[in-house]
Amino acid sequence: MTTQSKPYIIVLGNEKGGTGKSTAAMHLVTSLLHQGYTVGSLDIDARQGTLSRYVENRKNLIQQEGMALSMPRHYPIHRSTLELVIKAQEEEQNRLIQAIQLLQDCQFIIIDTPGSDTYLSRLAHSYADTLITPLNDSFIDLDMLVRVTPDSHDILRPSTYSEMVWEQKKQRALRDGGKIDWIVMRNRLSSIYSRNKEEMDRVLQALSRRIGFRLVPGFGERVIFKELFLNGLTVLDMRQANTPMTLSHVAAKQELNALIDKIDLPFQMKGAA
């Protein structure tokens, strides 16, 4: 298979819950669909299943209201229930590889992962062309990436998740020579100046140079994201849903477009849609 025919895989990952992975994943899916790409999605966090429910809510709305909304080809991937660790990992690896193979004719595959450390999540990370790590703008969430001193906030060492990503970068390179473009997306940014915000920026800028990720702004804290979930909608679906655009919708759409621009799609895909 040539590079051009291989799906471009975007993984949403962070070993902490509540950072907005599933919301970002669904908005990436719909943004790419709106641009005319063929998109598949995988829910590695199938037990909680937030992305799967998001897709299901969208499907139900289409059936009930007859809306002309684009849909991804979606598959949940459950963890193995086998007791023997080696056998369980083998089964999970086969499930992930088979799901990716089912979506080989898609231009993009979006993978949502759980907010915990599992073998299946680590494996999914190793298949990423782009890894996006949503991060709430707080030192509690930052602790997943780096340990800092309590007073000066100087970097002590990369934390557990950063070390895991580094390991999966090596696994990807060994498997097919590929590279993972790692993006840390700062979510729930306040528009108001604060010392916490300034210190977060300083630490993240220093850490990005040290362990090799790109830092981009993400989504603000908006109730609209939670409301849209119930109907399987995103901020890009307002016209089809005959929903008036509020200032919150407009701002959220601008944030999404800025994120898509920062992902930096492969050249051959930019002209494909």
Q: In the chain, where are the structural domains located? A: 3-270
- Angle between helix 50-65 and 21-34 (nearest 10): 50
| Confidence at residue 1, expressed as pLDDT on a 0 to 100 scale | 32
Per-residue pLDDT, 110: 97
CATH architecture of 3-270: 3-Layer(aba) Sandwich (3.40)
Structure-block tokens of residue 232: 């399987």
What's the pLDDT at 271? 47
pLDDT of residue 221: 67
User: What is the model's pLDDT at position 38?
Assistant: 95
pLDDT the model gives residue 202? 84
* AA letter at 193: Y
Identify the pLDDT of residue 72. 97
Q: DSSP of 89-156, one letter per residue?
A: HHHHHHHHHHHHHHTTT-SEEEEE--SS--HHHHHHHTT-SEEEEEEESSHHHHTTTEEE-TTT--EE
* Structure token digits, residue 269: 């895909």
pLDDT by 10-residue block (mean), the chain, 273 residues: 69 86 92 94 91 95 90 96 96 97 96 93 96 85 79 76 92 93 81 67 84 85 78 89 81 85 68 47
Burial of residue 132 (number of CB atoms within 10 Å: 0-12, 13-18, 19+): buried
pLDDT at 123: 97
Query: What pLDDT, on a 0 to 100 scale, did the predictor assign at position 189?
Result: 58
